[in-house]
Amino acid sequence: MARPDRRGVAALLAFLLLLLAPFASAAPRIGVATMQPGEIFWERFGHDALVVVDPATGAATSYNFGFFDPSEPGFVGNFVRGMMRYRLAALPLEVDMSTYRDEGRGVSIQWLRLSDAQADALANALAENARPENAVYSYDYFRDNCSTRVRDAIDRAVGGELRRQLSGRSHGSTYRSEAVRLASPAAWMWLGFDVGLGPAADRPLSLWEEAFVPMRLAAALREVQVDGHPLVGAEVPLLPHRIAPEPAEGPRAMWPWLSAGLLLALGLALLGQRRPRPVAAFALVFWSVGGLLGLLMLYLWLGTAHEFGWANRNLLLFDPLALLGLVGAARILRGRAPGPLMPRLLPVLAALALIAVFALWLDFAAQDNARWIALMLPIHVGLWAGLRGTHRPAAASIGA
Protein backbone atom coordinates (compact mmCIF):
# COMPACT_ATOMS: atom_id res chain seq x y z
CA MET A 1 0.00 0.00 0.00
CA ALA A 2 1.27 3.49 -0.82
CA ARG A 3 1.97 5.76 2.14
CA PRO A 4 -1.07 8.02 2.76
CA ASP A 5 -0.78 11.70 1.94
CA ARG A 6 -1.01 13.20 5.45
CA ARG A 7 -2.36 16.51 4.19
CA GLY A 8 -5.07 14.73 2.25
CA VAL A 9 -5.99 12.62 5.26
CA ALA A 10 -6.14 15.67 7.52
CA ALA A 11 -8.37 17.47 5.05
CA LEU A 12 -10.60 14.42 4.83
CA LEU A 13 -11.00 14.24 8.60
CA ALA A 14 -11.65 17.97 8.89
CA PHE A 15 -14.32 17.70 6.21
CA LEU A 16 -15.84 14.72 7.98
CA LEU A 17 -16.02 16.52 11.32
CA LEU A 18 -17.60 19.55 9.66
CA LEU A 19 -20.29 17.35 8.18
CA LEU A 20 -20.96 15.75 11.53
CA ALA A 21 -21.33 19.02 13.40
CA PRO A 22 -25.12 19.27 12.87
CA PHE A 23 -25.51 15.73 14.24
CA ALA A 24 -23.77 16.26 17.59
CA SER A 25 -24.93 13.59 20.00
CA ALA A 26 -23.84 11.51 22.94
CA ALA A 27 -24.24 8.42 20.78
CA PRO A 28 -21.83 7.41 18.03
CA ARG A 29 -22.62 8.44 14.47
CA ILE A 30 -23.03 5.54 12.03
CA GLY A 31 -22.42 5.76 8.30
CA VAL A 32 -22.20 3.42 5.33
CA ALA A 33 -19.18 4.07 3.11
CA THR A 34 -19.69 2.84 -0.46
CA MET A 35 -16.64 2.39 -2.67
CA GLN A 36 -17.04 2.36 -6.45
CA PRO A 37 -15.68 -0.54 -8.57
CA GLY A 38 -11.95 -0.78 -9.15
CA GLU A 39 -9.86 -2.14 -11.99
CA ILE A 40 -8.56 -5.39 -10.43
CA PHE A 41 -10.89 -8.36 -10.85
CA TRP A 42 -11.72 -8.66 -7.14
CA GLU A 43 -12.63 -4.95 -7.08
CA ARG A 44 -15.14 -5.12 -9.95
CA PHE A 45 -18.18 -5.36 -7.67
CA GLY A 46 -17.33 -2.36 -5.52
CA HIS A 47 -17.11 -2.47 -1.74
CA ASP A 48 -18.54 -0.96 1.40
CA ALA A 49 -17.92 -0.61 5.13
CA LEU A 50 -19.64 0.69 8.24
CA VAL A 51 -18.16 3.86 9.74
CA VAL A 52 -18.49 4.62 13.44
CA VAL A 53 -17.54 8.07 14.76
CA ASP A 54 -16.83 8.36 18.49
CA PRO A 55 -18.79 11.39 19.77
CA ALA A 56 -16.20 12.09 22.46
CA THR A 57 -13.05 12.13 20.35
CA GLY A 58 -14.31 12.45 16.78
CA ALA A 59 -12.23 9.41 15.81
CA ALA A 60 -13.77 7.58 12.86
CA THR A 61 -13.40 3.80 12.62
CA SER A 62 -14.07 1.84 9.45
CA TYR A 63 -15.49 -1.65 10.00
CA ASN A 64 -14.55 -3.45 6.80
CA PHE A 65 -15.75 -7.04 6.17
CA GLY A 66 -13.62 -7.52 3.04
CA PHE A 67 -10.29 -8.81 4.36
CA PHE A 68 -8.80 -12.18 3.50
CA ASP A 69 -5.34 -13.70 3.87
CA PRO A 70 -3.95 -15.34 0.70
CA SER A 71 -0.99 -16.66 2.71
CA GLU A 72 -3.09 -18.81 5.03
CA PRO A 73 -2.58 -22.59 4.64
CA GLY A 74 -4.77 -24.10 1.95
CA PHE A 75 -6.00 -20.72 0.67
CA VAL A 76 -5.99 -21.64 -3.03
CA GLY A 77 -7.62 -25.04 -2.46
CA ASN A 78 -10.31 -23.53 -0.25
CA PHE A 79 -10.95 -20.80 -2.82
CA VAL A 80 -11.44 -23.40 -5.58
CA ARG A 81 -13.75 -25.49 -3.42
CA GLY A 82 -15.82 -22.48 -2.38
CA MET A 83 -14.75 -22.42 1.27
CA MET A 84 -13.32 -18.93 1.59
CA ARG A 85 -12.57 -17.37 4.98
CA TYR A 86 -12.98 -13.61 5.24
CA ARG A 87 -12.75 -11.40 8.31
CA LEU A 88 -13.93 -8.11 9.69
CA ALA A 89 -11.20 -5.54 10.35
CA ALA A 90 -11.58 -2.32 12.34
CA LEU A 91 -9.16 0.39 11.22
CA PRO A 92 -8.98 4.17 11.23
CA LEU A 93 -11.10 5.63 8.46
CA GLU A 94 -8.20 7.64 7.03
CA VAL A 95 -6.13 4.46 6.66
CA ASP A 96 -8.94 2.59 4.96
CA MET A 97 -9.73 5.49 2.62
CA SER A 98 -6.12 5.99 1.57
CA THR A 99 -6.22 2.75 -0.42
CA TYR A 100 -9.27 3.81 -2.42
CA ARG A 101 -7.90 7.31 -2.96
CA ASP A 102 -4.67 5.86 -4.38
CA GLU A 103 -6.67 3.57 -6.69
CA GLY A 104 -8.84 6.42 -7.96
CA ARG A 105 -12.04 4.85 -6.64
CA GLY A 106 -14.86 7.13 -5.57
CA VAL A 107 -16.26 6.87 -2.04
CA SER A 108 -19.42 8.34 -0.56
CA ILE A 109 -20.88 8.07 2.95
CA GLN A 110 -24.53 7.76 3.90
CA TRP A 111 -25.04 8.91 7.48
CA LEU A 112 -27.81 6.90 9.09
CA ARG A 113 -30.53 8.51 11.16
CA LEU A 114 -30.60 6.10 14.10
CA SER A 115 -31.79 6.55 17.63
CA ASP A 116 -29.12 6.76 20.31
CA ALA A 117 -30.00 3.26 21.47
CA GLN A 118 -29.80 1.86 17.94
CA ALA A 119 -26.47 3.58 17.24
CA ASP A 120 -25.00 2.38 20.55
CA ALA A 121 -26.16 -1.18 19.92
CA LEU A 122 -24.74 -1.22 16.39
CA ALA A 123 -21.39 0.27 17.43
CA ASN A 124 -21.05 -2.20 20.31
CA ALA A 125 -21.99 -5.13 18.07
CA LEU A 126 -19.38 -4.13 15.50
CA ALA A 127 -16.67 -3.76 18.14
CA GLU A 128 -17.50 -7.21 19.47
CA ASN A 129 -17.62 -8.71 15.97
CA ALA A 130 -14.18 -7.25 15.20
CA ARG A 131 -12.53 -9.11 18.08
CA PRO A 132 -10.06 -11.69 16.70
CA GLU A 133 -12.09 -14.64 17.98
CA ASN A 134 -15.26 -13.34 16.25
CA ALA A 135 -13.95 -11.65 13.11
CA VAL A 136 -13.67 -14.61 10.70
CA TYR A 137 -16.68 -15.76 8.67
CA SER A 138 -17.37 -18.17 5.81
CA TYR A 139 -17.61 -16.07 2.67
CA ASP A 140 -20.27 -16.68 0.03
CA TYR A 141 -19.93 -14.62 -3.14
CA PHE A 142 -23.65 -13.82 -3.39
CA ARG A 143 -25.30 -14.54 -0.05
CA ASP A 144 -22.72 -13.69 2.62
CA ASN A 145 -20.18 -11.10 1.52
CA CYS A 146 -18.87 -7.72 2.60
CA SER A 147 -22.07 -5.97 1.50
CA THR A 148 -24.60 -8.42 2.93
CA ARG A 149 -22.75 -8.24 6.27
CA VAL A 150 -23.20 -4.45 6.29
CA ARG A 151 -26.86 -4.87 5.29
CA ASP A 152 -27.51 -7.42 8.03
CA ALA A 153 -25.83 -5.35 10.74
CA ILE A 154 -28.02 -2.35 9.90
CA ASP A 155 -31.12 -4.54 9.72
CA ARG A 156 -30.50 -5.89 13.22
CA ALA A 157 -30.06 -2.34 14.52
CA VAL A 158 -33.43 -1.23 13.14
CA GLY A 159 -35.32 -4.31 14.28
CA GLY A 160 -35.62 -6.02 10.91
CA GLU A 161 -37.21 -3.02 9.19
CA LEU A 162 -34.69 -3.06 6.34
CA ARG A 163 -35.56 -6.61 5.36
CA ARG A 164 -39.30 -6.03 5.68
CA GLN A 165 -39.23 -3.09 3.29
CA LEU A 166 -36.84 -4.60 0.73
CA SER A 167 -37.88 -8.25 0.54
CA GLY A 168 -41.15 -7.75 -1.33
CA ARG A 169 -39.77 -5.60 -4.16
CA SER A 170 -37.62 -6.41 -7.17
CA HIS A 171 -35.95 -4.78 -10.15
CA GLY A 172 -35.98 -8.14 -11.97
CA SER A 173 -32.21 -8.51 -11.80
CA THR A 174 -30.56 -11.85 -11.06
CA TYR A 175 -27.24 -12.97 -9.66
CA ARG A 176 -26.16 -13.71 -13.23
CA SER A 177 -27.23 -10.36 -14.66
CA GLU A 178 -25.46 -8.44 -11.90
CA ALA A 179 -22.32 -10.58 -12.11
CA VAL A 180 -22.09 -10.30 -15.89
CA ARG A 181 -22.80 -6.55 -15.83
CA LEU A 182 -20.19 -5.70 -13.22
CA ALA A 183 -17.58 -8.05 -14.69
CA SER A 184 -18.15 -6.79 -18.24
CA PRO A 185 -14.97 -4.64 -18.43
CA ALA A 186 -12.96 -7.90 -18.22
CA ALA A 187 -14.07 -10.28 -21.00
CA TRP A 188 -12.59 -13.38 -19.36
CA MET A 189 -14.41 -12.58 -16.13
CA TRP A 190 -17.92 -12.06 -17.48
CA LEU A 191 -17.55 -15.06 -19.80
CA GLY A 192 -16.55 -17.15 -16.80
CA PHE A 193 -19.61 -16.05 -14.85
CA ASP A 194 -21.98 -16.52 -17.79
CA VAL A 195 -20.72 -20.00 -18.70
CA GLY A 196 -20.10 -21.22 -15.16
CA LEU A 197 -23.28 -20.15 -13.37
CA GLY A 198 -26.14 -22.62 -13.26
CA PRO A 199 -29.92 -22.16 -12.90
CA ALA A 200 -29.73 -21.05 -9.26
CA ALA A 201 -28.22 -17.76 -10.48
CA ASP A 202 -31.25 -16.87 -12.61
CA ARG A 203 -33.98 -16.43 -10.00
CA PRO A 204 -35.23 -12.81 -9.86
CA LEU A 205 -33.83 -11.08 -6.80
CA SER A 206 -35.61 -8.97 -4.24
CA LEU A 207 -34.03 -5.65 -3.34
CA TRP A 208 -32.88 -7.32 -0.13
CA GLU A 209 -30.99 -10.01 -2.06
CA GLU A 210 -29.78 -7.54 -4.67
CA ALA A 211 -27.92 -5.72 -1.88
CA PHE A 212 -25.05 -8.20 -2.26
CA VAL A 213 -23.79 -5.44 -4.59
CA PRO A 214 -22.64 -2.45 -2.47
CA MET A 215 -23.98 0.15 -4.91
CA ARG A 216 -27.38 -1.59 -4.89
CA LEU A 217 -27.40 -1.52 -1.09
CA ALA A 218 -26.64 2.21 -1.11
CA ALA A 219 -29.55 2.79 -3.52
CA ALA A 220 -31.90 0.69 -1.36
CA LEU A 221 -30.95 2.54 1.82
CA ARG A 222 -32.10 5.80 0.23
CA GLU A 223 -35.65 4.42 0.01
CA VAL A 224 -36.00 2.96 3.51
CA GLN A 225 -38.11 4.71 6.14
CA VAL A 226 -37.72 3.98 9.86
CA ASP A 227 -40.13 5.41 12.43
CA GLY A 228 -41.61 7.71 9.80
CA HIS A 229 -38.37 9.30 8.57
CA PRO A 230 -35.73 8.39 6.00
CA LEU A 231 -33.05 6.04 7.28
CA VAL A 232 -30.37 8.04 5.44
CA GLY A 233 -30.08 11.45 7.06
CA ALA A 234 -27.32 12.78 4.78
CA GLU A 235 -25.21 11.51 1.92
CA VAL A 236 -21.88 13.10 1.10
CA PRO A 237 -18.96 12.34 -1.23
CA LEU A 238 -15.61 11.62 0.36
CA LEU A 239 -13.42 10.79 -2.63
CA PRO A 240 -13.91 11.49 -6.36
CA HIS A 241 -14.10 8.61 -8.82
CA ARG A 242 -11.24 8.98 -11.32
CA ILE A 243 -11.42 5.68 -13.25
CA ALA A 244 -14.03 3.98 -15.45
CA PRO A 245 -17.54 4.19 -13.96
CA GLU A 246 -19.73 1.31 -12.87
CA PRO A 247 -21.04 -0.53 -15.97
CA ALA A 248 -24.57 0.51 -16.87
CA GLU A 249 -27.54 -1.82 -17.05
CA GLY A 250 -28.79 -2.84 -20.46
CA PRO A 251 -30.30 -5.75 -22.39
CA ARG A 252 -28.01 -8.31 -24.00
CA ALA A 253 -29.06 -8.83 -27.60
CA MET A 254 -29.49 -12.35 -28.95
CA TRP A 255 -28.79 -11.67 -32.63
CA PRO A 256 -24.95 -11.37 -32.44
CA TRP A 257 -24.73 -14.80 -30.84
CA LEU A 258 -27.12 -16.43 -33.30
CA SER A 259 -25.54 -14.71 -36.29
CA ALA A 260 -22.06 -15.86 -35.27
CA GLY A 261 -23.29 -19.41 -34.69
CA LEU A 262 -25.07 -19.65 -38.03
CA LEU A 263 -22.18 -18.17 -40.02
CA LEU A 264 -19.69 -20.53 -38.41
CA ALA A 265 -22.00 -23.50 -38.95
CA LEU A 266 -22.50 -22.68 -42.63
CA GLY A 267 -18.76 -22.24 -43.16
CA LEU A 268 -17.93 -25.51 -41.39
CA ALA A 269 -20.56 -27.46 -43.30
CA LEU A 270 -19.53 -26.16 -46.74
CA LEU A 271 -15.78 -26.26 -46.16
CA GLY A 272 -15.80 -29.69 -44.58
CA GLN A 273 -17.08 -31.39 -47.72
CA ARG A 274 -14.12 -30.19 -49.78
CA ARG A 275 -11.33 -29.41 -47.30
CA PRO A 276 -11.90 -31.26 -44.03
CA ARG A 277 -8.46 -30.44 -42.60
CA PRO A 278 -9.27 -26.79 -41.64
CA VAL A 279 -12.56 -27.96 -40.16
CA ALA A 280 -10.72 -30.65 -38.18
CA ALA A 281 -8.29 -28.00 -36.92
CA PHE A 282 -11.24 -25.88 -35.75
CA ALA A 283 -12.81 -28.95 -34.13
CA LEU A 284 -9.57 -29.75 -32.34
CA VAL A 285 -9.56 -26.34 -30.63
CA PHE A 286 -13.34 -26.16 -30.18
CA TRP A 287 -13.61 -29.59 -28.57
CA SER A 288 -10.52 -29.08 -26.41
CA VAL A 289 -11.77 -25.82 -24.96
CA GLY A 290 -15.38 -26.97 -24.68
CA GLY A 291 -14.49 -30.33 -23.19
CA LEU A 292 -12.19 -28.81 -20.56
CA LEU A 293 -14.83 -26.22 -19.65
CA GLY A 294 -17.31 -29.05 -19.30
CA LEU A 295 -14.98 -30.93 -16.96
CA LEU A 296 -14.60 -27.76 -14.88
CA MET A 297 -18.38 -27.36 -14.70
CA LEU A 298 -18.73 -30.98 -13.61
CA TYR A 299 -16.15 -30.38 -10.90
CA LEU A 300 -17.97 -27.26 -9.68
CA TRP A 301 -21.18 -29.29 -9.50
CA LEU A 302 -19.91 -32.51 -7.96
CA GLY A 303 -16.79 -31.45 -6.08
CA THR A 304 -17.27 -27.96 -4.62
CA ALA A 305 -19.56 -25.85 -2.45
CA HIS A 306 -20.22 -23.39 -5.31
CA GLU A 307 -23.99 -23.99 -5.33
CA PHE A 308 -24.59 -21.43 -8.05
CA GLY A 309 -22.54 -23.57 -10.43
CA TRP A 310 -24.49 -26.78 -9.79
CA ALA A 311 -26.69 -28.49 -12.42
CA ASN A 312 -25.35 -26.20 -15.13
CA ARG A 313 -27.22 -26.80 -18.40
CA ASN A 314 -24.28 -25.45 -20.34
CA LEU A 315 -22.85 -28.95 -19.88
CA LEU A 316 -25.06 -29.91 -22.82
CA LEU A 317 -23.19 -27.36 -24.95
CA PHE A 318 -19.66 -27.59 -23.51
CA ASP A 319 -19.66 -31.36 -23.26
CA PRO A 320 -16.74 -33.36 -21.79
CA LEU A 321 -17.65 -36.06 -24.33
CA ALA A 322 -16.20 -33.77 -26.99
CA LEU A 323 -12.73 -34.72 -25.75
CA LEU A 324 -13.33 -38.16 -27.30
CA GLY A 325 -13.25 -36.52 -30.73
CA LEU A 326 -9.72 -35.14 -30.40
CA VAL A 327 -8.02 -38.28 -31.69
CA GLY A 328 -10.26 -38.38 -34.77
CA ALA A 329 -9.68 -34.68 -35.49
CA ALA A 330 -5.92 -35.17 -35.19
CA ARG A 331 -6.07 -38.12 -37.58
CA ILE A 332 -7.91 -36.02 -40.17
CA LEU A 333 -5.24 -33.33 -39.85
CA ARG A 334 -2.66 -35.98 -40.75
CA GLY A 335 -4.65 -36.97 -43.84
CA ARG A 336 -6.10 -40.15 -42.39
CA ALA A 337 -9.59 -41.43 -41.71
CA PRO A 338 -10.78 -40.42 -38.22
CA GLY A 339 -11.67 -43.92 -37.06
CA PRO A 340 -15.01 -45.48 -36.08
CA LEU A 341 -15.79 -43.21 -33.10
CA MET A 342 -16.16 -39.95 -35.05
CA PRO A 343 -19.36 -40.78 -37.00
CA ARG A 344 -21.02 -41.85 -33.74
CA LEU A 345 -19.81 -38.89 -31.69
CA LEU A 346 -20.80 -36.05 -34.05
CA PRO A 347 -24.59 -36.64 -33.93
CA VAL A 348 -24.46 -37.25 -30.18
CA LEU A 349 -22.86 -33.85 -29.53
CA ALA A 350 -25.40 -32.15 -31.80
CA ALA A 351 -28.29 -34.00 -30.16
CA LEU A 352 -27.18 -33.04 -26.66
CA ALA A 353 -26.98 -29.39 -27.71
CA LEU A 354 -30.50 -29.74 -29.13
CA ILE A 355 -31.71 -31.08 -25.78
CA ALA A 356 -30.60 -27.77 -24.26
CA VAL A 357 -33.16 -26.05 -26.52
CA PHE A 358 -35.97 -28.26 -25.25
CA ALA A 359 -34.83 -27.76 -21.65
CA LEU A 360 -35.01 -24.00 -22.16
CA TRP A 361 -38.39 -24.24 -23.89
CA LEU A 362 -39.93 -26.46 -21.21
CA ASP A 363 -38.66 -24.36 -18.30
CA PHE A 364 -37.63 -20.99 -19.69
CA ALA A 365 -36.85 -19.37 -16.34
CA ALA A 366 -34.57 -22.16 -15.12
CA GLN A 367 -31.32 -20.97 -16.72
CA ASP A 368 -30.58 -17.95 -18.86
CA ASN A 369 -28.36 -19.66 -21.44
CA ALA A 370 -30.32 -18.93 -24.63
CA ARG A 371 -27.40 -16.95 -26.08
CA TRP A 372 -25.00 -19.83 -25.58
CA ILE A 373 -27.49 -22.20 -27.21
CA ALA A 374 -27.83 -19.80 -30.16
CA LEU A 375 -24.06 -19.85 -30.61
CA MET A 376 -23.14 -23.43 -29.79
CA LEU A 377 -25.95 -25.51 -31.28
CA PRO A 378 -25.30 -24.35 -34.88
CA ILE A 379 -21.57 -24.99 -34.46
CA HIS A 380 -22.16 -28.56 -33.29
CA VAL A 381 -24.50 -29.14 -36.24
CA GLY A 382 -22.01 -27.50 -38.61
CA LEU A 383 -19.23 -29.80 -37.44
CA TRP A 384 -21.48 -32.81 -37.89
CA ALA A 385 -22.34 -31.73 -41.43
CA GLY A 386 -18.74 -30.88 -42.29
CA LEU A 387 -17.02 -33.97 -40.92
CA ARG A 388 -19.59 -36.71 -41.27
CA GLY A 389 -18.17 -37.87 -44.62
CA THR A 390 -14.58 -38.16 -43.45
CA HIS A 391 -15.03 -41.72 -42.14
CA ARG A 392 -15.62 -43.14 -45.60
CA PRO A 393 -12.88 -45.21 -47.20
CA ALA A 394 -11.93 -42.43 -49.61
CA ALA A 395 -11.03 -40.28 -46.64
CA ALA A 396 -7.67 -42.04 -46.49
CA SER A 397 -6.51 -39.77 -49.26
CA ILE A 398 -7.75 -36.57 -47.66
CA GLY A 399 -5.48 -33.66 -48.47
CA ALA A 400 -3.16 -35.85 -50.62
The domain spans of the chain are 6-169+206-239, 255-397
- Residue 261 backbone phi and psi in degrees, to 5: -65, -45
pTM, 2 dp:
0.89
- Tell me if 373 sits within 8 A of 358, measured CB to CB: no
Closest CA to 236 of 220, 223, 248, 218: 218
- Tell me if 249 sits within 8 A of 216, measured CB to CB: no
C-alpha distances out from residue 210 to 10, 34, 144, 172, Å: 35, 15, 12, 10
Distance of alpha carbon 205 from alpha carbon 167, whole angstroms: 9
List per-residue pLDDT tens for the chain, 400 residues long.
333 444 555 455 545 554 554 445 689 999 999 999 999 988 999 999 999 999 999 999 999 999 988 878 887 888 888 889 999 999 999 999 999 999 999 999 999 999 999 999 999 999 999 999 999 999 999 999 999 999 999 999 999 999 999 999 999 999 999 999 999 999 999 999 999 999 999 999 999 999 999 999 999 999 999 999 999 999 999 999 999 999 998 888 999 999 999 999 999 999 998 999 999 999 999 999 999 999 999 999 999 999 999 999 999 999 999 999 999 999 999 999 999 999 999 999 999 999 999 988 887 668 999 999 999 999 999 999 999 877 654 443 344 3
Q: What is the DSSP letter of 222?
A: T
Residue 103 has a CB neighbour count (10 Å cut-off) of: 17
Distance of alpha carbon 365 from alpha carbon 349, whole angstroms: 24
Closest CA to 290 of 361, 188, 380, 187: 380
DSSP secondary structure letters along 271-301? HHHH-HHHHHHHHHHHHHHHHHHHHHHHHHH
As a residue count, the chain comes to 400
pLDDT of residue 234: 96
Distance of alpha carbon 157 from alpha carbon 154, whole angstroms: 5
pLDDT of residue 8: 54
225 pairs with which residues across the strands? 230
- Tell me if 309 sits within 8 A of 197, measured CB to CB: yes
pLDDT of residue 18: 46
AA letter at 125: A
Distance of alpha carbon 49 from alpha carbon 103, whole angstroms: 17
pLDDT of residue 366: 84
